[in-house]
């Protein structure tokens, strides 16, 4: 067991809660599309629309969520973010047995669960720095992202297997159980943060606090670069991921259980990325490591549309492995940078403002992928969207990230001059 997990009880509980929540979310990424494909016989566009509903709340409430998180204690918000999906996912099998399940109710479940995820993710990201000392944050971020990848692959495998053995709707019982574990772990955390209003802040309107977060992202070249890259990358990622289940079932001819197993194998790339990112960043620098993991490694995405029945399905695993490794490693670098560079009282608004664009393009990507799949066919749509994954990193290549070895640790004016890359202007 990691030293941090062994000696820090509250972080261990947070780690367990986040891992359980990611497991539940991973089950839904398999079971919800499988319900639409195998039970409701939905079109590719309808499946894309269902995926879009899960991410649409980032556009609807993403900005105010950041202000709420900076105004309130984060742990109660995380408790609510775990309790809501627990109830929602437990109702789906009941609705299916009663004959009430359709694309509309299923989309409503995805939308409300997505809203809970906005609150949980924003609160959890801002809560972690209050729980860990600065020296422990790098290890904590790596542990959380690594376990999230492990939970994702096990959740996808479990979701596909449950769907094949017990029916796709019953697969959501795994979600409900996972969020119950997350809720119980969060309840046992002893750390109590001070109420934000005790820090001496003068009361301000919600609009003013939202505007401050937006100005923070728009006015700082580092935040602006990473936010634009995240938005572009997520558009391409969700564009092809919204079609993965349809692609593997209808184009590659795979059974639901096999789909889950392949998604789980592909997800091991995230664990690999979490394991190597700290050593890589220490050796070549955080900025260079970001270019490596976000630009070079994800070029394997171009293997995904080559997947075919039989052994050809392994091309999907190889391509997705590289994408997963790059995304997780890049996220660890980004989160560590945000936690050190951003003033703590603004961290919730920073996370929400950047996530508004980062995650806000996810529903657009899902709709785009579904529309291309319906208009051109699933495989051509997969070619278009997977090509966008490495191309998105051109945003980083044309930014200050290319000119330095390490990302800064303090805002401009307080930071020492960055060391330029040899040969760069």
Q: pLDDT tier at 423 (50, 70, 90 boundaries)?
A: very low
The reported pLDDT for the residue numbered 421 is 39
How many CB atoms within 10 Å of residue 73? 16
Q: Is there a domain that residue 160 lies in?
A: yes
As a whole number, mean pLDDT of residues 314-328 equals 91
Residue 416 has pLDDT above 50, yes or no: no
pLDDT single digits (tens) 331-387:
889 888 888 888 777 777 787 788 788 877 878 888 898 889 889 999 999 999 999
Find which of 139-148, 294-303, 336-345 is predicted with most confidence, using mean pLDDT. Answer: 294-303
Distance CA 31, CA 260 (A): 9
Task: Determine, yes or no, domain membership for 249.
Answer: yes
181: tokens are 């574990």
Residue 206 domain flag: no
Is residue 416 a part of any domain in this protein?
Answer: no
Q: For residues 77 and 161, which has the higher predicted lDDT (pLDDT)?
A: 77
More confident position, 2 or 409: 409
* pLDDT given at position 196: 64
CB 349 within 8 A of CB 338: no
Q: Give a yes or no: residue 197 inside a domain.
A: no
pLDDT in tens, 97-133: 887 888 888 889 999 998 998 899 888 878 888 888 8
Range scoring the smallest mean pLDDT among 180-189, 194-203, 307-316? 194-203
Comparison of pLDDT for 260 and 177, the residue scoring more:
177
Residue 414, domain member (yes or no):
no
Q: Which residue has the higher pLDDT, 72 or 162?
A: 72
pLDDT score, position 57: 87
Question: How far, in Å, CA of 176 to CA of 282, rounded?
Answer: 39
Does 419 score more than 50 pLDDT?
no
What's the whole-number mean pLDDT along residues 314-327?
91
Mean pLDDT of the chain: 82
Please report which confidence band the pLDDT of residue 302 belongs to, taking 50, 70 and 90 as the band edges.
Answer: very high
Q: How many domains does the chain have?
A: 1
Residue 394 lies in a domain: yes
Query: Secondary structure of the chain in the HEC alphabet?
Result: CCHHHHHCHHHHHHHHHHHHHHHHHHHHHHHHHHHHHHHCCCCHHHHHHHHHHHHCHHHHHHHHHHHHHHHCCHHHHHHHHHHHHHHHHHHHHHHHHHCCCCHHHHHHHHHHHHHHHHHHHHHHHHHHHHHCCHHHHHHHHHHHHHHHHHHHHHHHHHHHHHHHHHCCHHHHHHHHHHHHHHHHHHHCCCCCCCCHHHHCCCCCCHHHHHHHHHHHHHHCHHHHHHHHHHHHHHHHHHHHHCCHHHHHHHHCCCCHHHHHHHHHHHHHHHHHHHHHHHHHHHHHCHHHHHHHHHHHHHHHHHHHHHCCCHHHHHHHHHHHHHHHHHHHHHHHHHHHHHHHHCCHHHHHHHHHHHHHHHCCHHHHHHHHHHHHHHHHCHHHHHHHHHHHHHHHCHHHHCCHHHHECCCCCCCCCCCCCCCECCCCC
pLDDT in the model for residue 275? 87
| Per-residue pLDDT reduced to its tens digit, 215-250 | 888 888 999 999 999 999 999 998 998 888 888 888
Examine residue 65 and state whether it is found in any structural domain, yes or no: yes
Report the C-alpha gap between 269 and 12 in whole angstroms: 23
Mean pLDDT, residues 389-393: 91
Query: What is the per-residue pLDDT for 414?
Result: 43
The residue range of the domain holding 260 is 3-189+212-403
CATH number of the domain where residue 113 is located: 1.20.1250.20
301-310, 353-362, 410-419 — most confident range: 301-310
The pLDDT of residue 33 is 81
At residue 197, the pLDDT reads: 58
């Amino acid at each position: 067991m990691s030293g941090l997990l062994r000696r820090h009880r509250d972080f261990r509980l947070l780690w367990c809660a986040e891992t359980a929540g990611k497991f539940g979310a991973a089950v839904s990424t398999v079971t919800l599309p499988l319900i639409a494909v195998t039970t409701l016989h939905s079109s590719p566009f309808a499946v894309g629309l269902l995926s879009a509903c899960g991410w649409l709340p980032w556009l609807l409430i993403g900005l105010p969520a950041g202000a709420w998180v900076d105004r309130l204690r984060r742990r109660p918000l995380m408790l609510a973010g775990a309790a809501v999906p627990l109830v929602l996912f437990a109702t789906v099998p009941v609705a299916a047995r009663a004959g009430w399940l359709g694309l509309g109710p299923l989309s409503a479940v995805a939308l409300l669960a997505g809203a809970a995820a906005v609150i949980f993710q924003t609160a959890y990201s801002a809560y972690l720095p209050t729980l860990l000392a600065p020296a422990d944050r790098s290890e904590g971020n790596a542990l959380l992202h690594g376990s999230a990848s492990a939970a994702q692959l096990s959740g996808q495998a479990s979701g596909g297997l449950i769907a094949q053995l017990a029916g796709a709707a019953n697969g959501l019982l795994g979600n409900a159980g996972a969020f119950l574990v997350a809720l119980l772990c969060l309840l046992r955390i002893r750390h109590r943060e001070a109420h934000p209003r005790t820090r001496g802040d003068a009361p301000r309107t919600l609009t003013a606090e939202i505007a401050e977060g937006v100005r923070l992202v728009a006015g700082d070249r580092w935040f602006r670069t990473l936010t634009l890259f995240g938005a572009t990358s997520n558009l391409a990622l969700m564009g092809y991921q919204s079609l993965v289940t349809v692609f593997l079932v209808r184009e590659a001819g795979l059974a639901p259980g096999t789909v889950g197993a392949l998604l789980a194998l592909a997800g091991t790339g995230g664990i690999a990325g979490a394991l190597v990112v700290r050593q890589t960043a220490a050796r070549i620098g955080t900025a260079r490591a970001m270019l490596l993991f976000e630009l070079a490694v994800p070029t394997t995405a171009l293997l995904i549309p080559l997947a075919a029945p039989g052994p050809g399905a392994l091309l999907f695993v190889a391509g997705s492995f590289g994408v997963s490794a790059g995304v997780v490693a890049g996220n660890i670098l980004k989160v560590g940078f945000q936690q050190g560079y951003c003033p703590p009282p603004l961290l919730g608004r920073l996370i929400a403002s950047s996530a508004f664009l980062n995650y806000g393009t996810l529903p657009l990507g899902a709709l785009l992928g579904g529309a291309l799949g319906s208009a051109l066919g699933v495989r051509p749509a997969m070619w278009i969207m997977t090509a966008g994954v490495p191309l998105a990193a051109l945003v980083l290549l044309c930014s200050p990230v290319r000119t330095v070895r390490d990302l800064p640790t303090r805002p401009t004016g307080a930071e020492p001059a960055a060391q330029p890359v040899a040969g760069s202007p």
